[in-house]
Amino acid sequence: MHFAAILTSIVALLTTNVAADHMMAATRCWGKKCYSDHSVFFVANTTEWWAINANDGCKRTEMVPRMSICIDWAAGRAHYWHGSALRSQKYCLLRDSAPENYLGCDADRCEKSTWTQAECRWNTDAS
C-alpha cells in the first residue's frame, strides 16, 4: 500500500472532535536516516487537520492560521504557537506513545507515534 493511502487511513480514523491539539507522526526510515515529513496535526474541538512536517527542529508550517513548531525528537517534546510568537501563547506537545511499527510503506522501516498537548514544563524561549 502506498504511504499516502496509509496516511489517509490514519486521518480518517482520527478525525473526531478532541479536547486538545495533537499530532500523529508518521516516520519513514531508510537505514539510519528517518523522516517524519508526512505527519498530521489535529486541531482541538474541531474535525480540522493539517499535513505537517514533523522532522526534528523548528519550522513554519503551511497551516492557517500560520503556525510555527519546534520538535525535539530525542526528548519526545515539541512546542508551537499560532500567528506571531510575540502575540500568542506557546503550547506544548509530548510524545505519549512509543513508536509503533506499521507495514506497507515505501521505506525500510515505518513507525507512527502520537503527540498530545501538555503543560509546558521546559524552557521554550530558546527558539
Q: Does residue 96 lie within any of the structural domains?
A: yes
- Domain assignment of residue 61, given as a range: 3-118
**8 Å CB contact between 113 and 95:** yes
| Cα(17)–Cα(4) distance, integer angstroms | 23
- The domain total for the chain is 1
Confirm if 114 and 24 have CB atoms less than 8 A apart. yes
Distances (CA, A) of 58 to 8, 19, 122: 25, 25, 16
Can you read off the three cell numbers belonging to residue 30? 531508510
Q: Is residue 63 part of a domain?
A: yes
Band (117; pLDDT cuts 50, 70, 90): very high
Whether residue 123 is contained in a domain is answered as no
Give the rounded percent of residues in the chain with a pLDDT score beyond 70. Answer: 76
CA torsion sign for 110, 112, 113, 117 is positive
CB-based contact 38:45 (threshold 8 Å): no
What is the rounded average pLDDT of the residues 95-105? 84
pTM for this prediction: 0.76
Q: CATH number of the domain at 12, please.
A: 2.40.350
52-79 confidence digits (pLDDT tens): 999 999 998 876 567 889 999 999 999 9
In contact, 17 and 109? CB cutoff 8 Å = no
Contacts of 55 (CB under 8 A, 6+ apart): 35, 36, 37, 71
